[in-house]
Homo-oligomer: A and B are copies of this chain.
């Protein structure tokens, strides 16, 4: 019902991510130039600049969490290790979205001006991940801090050595696995 978009949402989000990898300045003008979508269209579709940024972040974080939570909740003794490796794998399979997640502070995407319903969604997404990590900690017996470090902090720190400019090398996985086990064995 109604006219169809000439440029898909994910193409718009991708352009926003690409800008972040560059000079990092995201103005509506840059989005217009890079996508070919007019200002009027952007406002019709997303409502505001803040909403567009929040949607870009949500799109990226949902894609990542699908990979991460699937691994973490798959069971088995190496579920944690596979979840830790979800980060470098995601960077290789979805570079553009990985840039959004790895190169940005939340403050770049969310502000008091972000629409309420998006703030709510963002909050929910974050809570879901935090809850999954808590569950994993409880089941595995590892400390919560060790899990946060081994599952998130170390893998993220590692890929940030390469992103946004260079691809994440396969060789990184071995280090990330080792760091994961070092964390859970320490705590």
Contacts and interface: CB of A to CB of B under 8 A. Distances in A.
Interface stretch (A5-13, A66-74, A100-108): A100-108
Contacts of A103: 105
Contacts of A23: 107, 111-112
A149 B153 contact: no
- Copies of the protein in its oligomer: 2
A145 B175 contact: yes
Interface majority SS (helix, strand, loop, mixed), chain A: helix
Interface stretch (A28-36, A37-45, A121-129, A156-164): A156-164
21 contacts: A23-B107, A24-B105, A24-B108, A104-B105, A145-B171, A145-B175, A149-B157, A149-B158, A149-B179, A152-B161, A153-B157, A153-B160, A155-B157, A156-B157, A157-B158, A157-B160, A175-B187, A178-B183, A178-B185, A178-B186, A179-B182
